[in-house]
Amino acid sequence: MTQTTQQDIITAKLFFNAAFPVMKVVLEDDPTMKARFQDVQAVVQISAFLERVGGEALACRLVFDKGQFSVVQGAAGATDKKPDVVLAFSSLAKMNTMFRGGLALPSIKGLGKLGLLLKVFSLLMSLMLMMPSSRPKDPARQRLKVKMSLYMITRALSVYNKLGDPVMSEWCRRQPERIYQFVVDDGGNPSVACYLRVKAGRSKSGHGVYTRRSPFVLFHFFSVEGALKVLLKDVAFVEGVEQGCVEIVGSPEYAMYLNDFMSILQGMLT
């Protein structure tokens, strides 16, 4: 059996802590998915076996509560609600493969709750919208892809720092308080906005426009279509600036550093 690598562990934790929370965007913004889960009250546990650390499992729980959704890290304990469904992978590598869109399946406990299971798989598969191969034509789906992708990547940047990547951690450590803001204009509709806040080694991501401090770097996308071109790498970041897809306000040097980290994380998660 292939041993779990440190890269497998980091990738899995990025899925649990950065990608899975983005399912909340789907449940709020996709009318079909919102209706599908509006009456669901259940806990679904996802876990994967860790060969290298004595057979422990890395796990998280998806908690649905009649329209409310949260991701809780760790397996259910003795005092927690027992999961209604458990998806258990034999290795982290297999779990990561599935969530990147590859062929890998978990063992399933809770097959008696087939309706819930089918709903959960449909929600998990909605994360595939963030994959480079996904190129939606419908404007609403395009906006959803951009929103999910930017929310995920800003959260992943903060998680990557907290997981102790030496390069990312050093980059965060030597900065005073700085805001890296992302904004997408959306044809008169409320814009997509999120940010990464860095301060002396600490980091935090958030949704919306950060109002307590002006951005150190602002990534301003002029349209959803322009944001898609950059996110899908149809144009390189510099070319995106030249073609009017995005403007960078602030330090171009630090913008490129952040773009490099974003590319690393996208490579791990897609």
- What is residue 50's predicted lDDT score, i.e. its pLDDT? 75
Same domain, 116 and 40: yes
CATH number for 262 = 3.30.1050.10
**Does 60 score more than 90 pLDDT?**
yes
Last residue of one domain, picked from the residues 113, 130, 147: 130
pTM: 0.93
Same domain, 101 and 67: yes
Mean pLDDT of 144-167: 97
Question: 76 — phi, psi (to 5°)?
Answer: -65, 130
* In a domain? residue 165: yes
pLDDT in tens, 196-211: 999 999 999 999 999 9
* In a domain? residue 1: no
- What is residue 197's predicted lDDT score, i.e. its pLDDT? 98
Mean pLDDT of 44-70: 86
**Does 52 score more than 60 pLDDT?**
no
**Does 189 score more than 70 pLDDT?**
no
Q: Which range is least confidently modeled, 2-6, 61-65, 160-164, 205-209?
A: 2-6
* In a domain? residue 220: yes
Same domain, 29 and 119: yes
Print the domain residue range for 201.
139-269
DSSP one-letter code for 129: G
118 vs 7, 17, 36, 169, 258, CA distance in Å? 30, 23, 11, 39, 38
- What is residue 57's predicted lDDT score, i.e. its pLDDT? 84
* In a domain? residue 172: yes
Mean pLDDT of 239-261: 93
**Does 53 score more than 60 pLDDT?**
no
Confidence of residue 216 (pLDDT cuts 50, 70, 90): very high
Last residue of one domain, picked from the residues 130, 161, 186: 130
Quickly list H helices, the chain. 6-14, 23-29, 31-37, 92-99, 114-126, 139-162, 166-173, 224-231, 237-242, 252-269
Specify the number of domains making up the chain: 2
